Amino acid sequence: MDNNTTPNQNGDNHHKKQKNKPNLGLFLFLVISSFIIMNYFMKSSDDGKSKEITYDAFIDMLEEDKVDKVEDTGLTWKITPKTQPLEEVEFTYYTGKMNDDALLPMLREKDVEIQPYIQDTIGTLIWEIVWSLLPFILIFTVFSFMMRKMGGGGVMGVGKSKAKVYIEKETGVTFKDVAGEEEAKESLVEIVDFLHNPQKYVEIGAKLPKGALLVGPPGTGKTLLAKAVAGEAHVPFFSLAGSDFVEMFVGVGASRVRDLFEEAKRHAPCIVFIDEIDAIGKSRDSRMGGNDEREQTLNQLLAEMDGFENNQACIVLAATNRPEVLDQALLRPGRFDRRIIVERPDLKGREDILKVHAKRVKLDETVKLDEIALATSGAVGADLANMINEAAILAVKHGRAAICQKDLFDAMEVVLMGKEKKNKILSTEERKIVSYHEVGHALATALQKDSEPVQKITIVPRTSGALGYVLQTPEEEKNLMSKKEIEARLVTCMGGRAAEELVFETVTTGAAQDIQQATRLARAMVTQYGMSEKFGLMGLESRESMYLDNGTVLNCSDETAASVDAEIMRILKESYEKAKKLLEENRDCLDQIAEFLIEKETITGKEFMEIFHRIKSEDGEYHQEELIFAE
């Protein structure tokens, strides 16, 4: 035991001696530099108004009656001549003192003003000392202020940790406040149990996990889960962000890591939570040039995580949405033993999240949270919390005492599409174009079996930049998409542009977002999903940042990339031709629904399908199979 602890103690003492060296050195450098600069300016200012002369020259000036005043400074005679140069500052000479009995009679003979030397009092001496030390005091004060602004707590505290400490239930969050992430909660419940009852795990031979990494898209509740651990664990909980370690001075981040873990060991058992750990945990890559401060901080973090003893119940939690950039040494077992995936919630998860946030507000009997959950596929917990809050604001705005279902759907549109721009007035021609464009999307959807039903059509502009949109709601939650469903979605995307060309014999810029969405989908079919006849099952792209922008990188030659572009162009062209053909065959539906939309500005999916049923029935073209699908 002694052999194991002595090196660590020596290492800690060595770190304590070393960690303030960069700060003390910088301070001494500032002091010396300031002294040299001040001395230089003082000498420069004296060079122009005072000059040293010999004692003989001083006697010659007296004999020639050129001296106006003589001052005894203690060690020298300060001589003021009668004739001054044409300058604003008085010009003087000075010379050393000698034991000359004839000097005083000569001064009296020439009628020279004599100012004797007066010994300084204690107060004067103190004032001179303070005045000489004042520049250094000012420098020290400014430097200390800079360190405090950086969060270091003064000159010698620049390396102190800035972690916020929560003890027991100070966070106000428990696992009951977290919904939709049952698998992540289960892993964290085990960690809390480790902290509460470590002995039963030690008895069976299990080692306590040293760390857990929370990984997932932004807004899924990683930080909320960490706060819930603090609320459940009843142990000290140190919380800080990865950026809190990094400062402008090299070595400060490593010093803060040391201080944080020393504090954590003193409070064991405890939890250390580092949010956005990718700020200090990026892979150490010397090819593109390194960052000395960040790499030193990472190296210190790795060393500190290895320094935990098996019987020390100190667990490190970290969160990131960029796991692909983290250093492999940080991810290995023994440091972060568990990777907890915090994914986007499924249908049941979204409904549970809505129920948690709905406890804070008043709901009326019309509210059906399952319908909202179904309509918000892909939304994360932060989006759903925002929807509940926006719904409450809308209810107050309309004078209601409780939130209704319409408030929730309107809030969903506000979060996803932005607010209505009531001051943006479209011309008659533009309203007509936008109306046909949106009905083209809706009609292309209704005429295909593998598409999602229409919930709403509107031509009211939104703050997101959309002049109108079609809201589609899936009939059930899906985790997979078939090739037919993707092809149906491509045709729906092209329906707006096809309607514009069919009716107005021209096209506008309104289909820009539709084209981008269709291009991304077609590219994924070719490069990722293996749905192209030309390339088959060949994977041509790989994901780069799956939790942020979902970016991809091509893994093929330039010639293959050109062939990929040609294949994407073919798919999009076929989708456009199919959309155009569907709308040509149903031109009456297109015209009548568009006219109704121009008049109403917003119509529901039910109104849209009623008009669609009526027109198809009048034409006698509605087969029983189509009728069942449309309903």
pLDDT digits (tens, 9 = 90+) for 53-83: 888 888 888 888 888 888 887 778 888 888 7
Query: What is the pLDDT at residue 260?
Result: 84
Q: From residue 188, how far is each of 70, 191, 239, 342, 578 by CA, in Å? A: 87, 5, 16, 12, 51
Inform me whether the pLDDT recorded for 156 exceeds 50: no
Provide mean pLDDT across the span 32-48: 57
Query: Quick one: 360 and 387 in the same domain?
Result: yes
Query: Quick one: 92 and 152 in the same domain?
Result: no
CB 185 within 8 A of CB 353: no
Q: Which of 369, 387, 417 is the last residue of a domain?
A: 417
Structure tokens, 33: 């530099």
Choice between 330 and 87, residue whose per-residue pLDDT is larger: 330
Inform me whether the pLDDT recorded for 486 exceeds 90: yes
Query: Quick one: 33 and 74 in the same domain?
Result: no
Is 513 inside a domain boundary?
A: yes
Task: State how far the Cα of 573 lies from the Cα of 558, in Å rounded to an integer.
Answer: 23
CB 274 within 8 A of CB 222: no
pLDDT band at 109 (very low <50, low <70, confident <90, very high): confident
Amino acid letter for position 309: E
Provide mean pLDDT across the span 25-40: 61
Distance of CA 54 to the CA centre of its chain: 72
Query: Quick one: 318 and 411 in the same domain?
Result: no
Alpha helices in 48-121 (DSSP H): 55-63, 103-109
Query: What is the pLDDT at residue 299?
Result: 85
Query: What is the pLDDT at residue 6?
Result: 39
DSSP string of 284-298, one letter each residue: --STT---HHHHHHH
Provide mean pLDDT across the span 524-546: 87
Total number of domains in the chain? 5
pLDDT band at 21 (very low <50, low <70, confident <90, very high): very low
Is 8 inside a domain boundary?
A: no
Choice between 27 and 512, residue whose per-residue pLDDT is larger: 512
pLDDT band at 321 (very low <50, low <70, confident <90, very high): confident
Query: Quick one: 329 and 229 in the same domain?
Result: yes
Q: Which residues are CB-neighbours of 217 under 8 A, at least 6 positions away? A: 321, 343, 344, 380, 547, 548
CATH of the domain at 64: 3.30.720.210
Choice between 445 and 227, residue whose per-residue pLDDT is larger: 445
Inform me whether the pLDDT recorded for 204 exceeds 50: yes
Q: From residue 307, how far is each of 13, 69, 160 by CA, in Å? A: 15, 76, 19
- 607 carries an active-site annotation: no
Q: How many helices (H) and strands (E) does the chain have?
A: 23, 16
Provide mean pLDDT across the span 432-439: 94
Query: Quick one: 434 and 579 in the same domain?
Result: yes
Task: State how far the Cα of 21 lies from the Cα of 251, in Å rounded to an integer.
Answer: 9
Choice between 631 and 579, residue whose per-residue pLDDT is larger: 579
Query: Quick one: 624 and 485 in the same domain?
Result: yes
Nearest to 9 by CA among 262, 264, 211, 269: 262
Nearest to 432 by CA among 492, 491, 513, 503: 503
pLDDT band at 343 (very low <50, low <70, confident <90, very high): confident
Is 11 inside a domain boundary?
A: no
Task: State how far the Cα of 328 lies from the Cα of 330, in Å rounded to an integer.
Answer: 5
Query: What is the pLDDT at residue 14?
Result: 41
pLDDT digits (tens, 9 = 90+) for 245-288: 776 555 677 888 888 888 888 887 788 888 888 888 888 765 55
Provide mean pLDDT across the span 578-592: 93
CB 537 within 8 A of CB 207: no
Query: What is the pLDDT at residue 564?
Result: 93
Inform me whether the pLDDT recorded for 404 exceeds 90: yes
Q: Which of 97, 130, 157 is the last residue of a domain?
A: 157
Please report the beta strands in 127-223, taking only residues with DSSP state E, as ranges in sequence order: 164-166, 211-215
253-257, 348-352, 490-494, 609-613: segment of lowest average pLDDT: 253-257
Q: Give the β-pairing of 76-81 and 164-166.
A: unpaired
pLDDT digits (tens, 9 = 90+) for 553-567: 888 888 999 999 999
Task: State how far the Cα of 341 lies from the Cα of 328, in Å rounded to an integer.
Answer: 17
Choice between 107 and 585, residue whose per-residue pLDDT is larger: 585
Provide mean pLDDT across the span 87-94: 70
Query: Quick one: 278 and 301 in the same domain?
Result: yes
Is 610 inside a domain boundary?
A: yes
pLDDT band at 627 (very low <50, low <70, confident <90, very high): very low
Query: What is the pLDDT at residue 86?
Result: 59
Query: Quick one: 456 and 569 in the same domain?
Result: yes
CATH of the domain at 178: 3.40.50.300
Percent of the chain past pLDDT 90, that is, above it, reads 25
Is 12 inside a domain boundary?
A: no
Q: Which of 364, 388, 417 is the last residue of a domain?
A: 417
104-118, 161-175, 338-352: segment of lowest average pLDDT: 161-175
Structure tokens, 69: 């005043």
Query: What is the pLDDT at residue 621?
Result: 53
Query: Quick one: 73 and 103 in the same domain?
Result: yes
Inform me whether the pLDDT recorded for 312 exceeds 80: no
Highest mean pLDDT: which range of 62-66, 94-98, 393-397, 448-452: 393-397
How many of the other CB atoms lie within 10 Å of CB of 181? 28
**Boundaries of domain holding 31:** 21-40+122-157
Is 203 inside a domain boundary?
A: yes
Task: State how far the Cα of 60 lies from the Cα of 355, in Å rounded to an integer.
Answer: 104
Is 500 inside a domain boundary?
A: yes
Percent of the chain past pLDDT 70, that is, above it, reads 79
Query: Quick one: 134 and 102 in the same domain?
Result: no
Task: State how far the Cα of 272 lies from the Cα of 314, in Å rounded to an integer.
Answer: 7
Task: State how far the Cα of 238 lies from the Cα of 314, in Å rounded to an integer.
Answer: 11
Is 557 inside a domain boundary?
A: yes
Query: Quick one: 221 and 325 in the same domain?
Result: yes
Is-above-0.85 flag for pTM?
A: no
Residue of 181, 276, 293, 438 with catalytic role: 438
C-alpha neighbours within 13 Å on the C-beta side of residue 389: 7
Q: 3-state class of 485 per DSSP?
A: helix
CB 231 within 8 A of CB 172: yes
CATH of the domain at 363: 1.10.8.60
CB 214 within 8 A of CB 184: yes
Phi, psi of 219 (to 5 degrees): 85, 5
Mean pLDDT across the chain: 80
Inform me whether the pLDDT recorded for 294 exceeds 70: yes
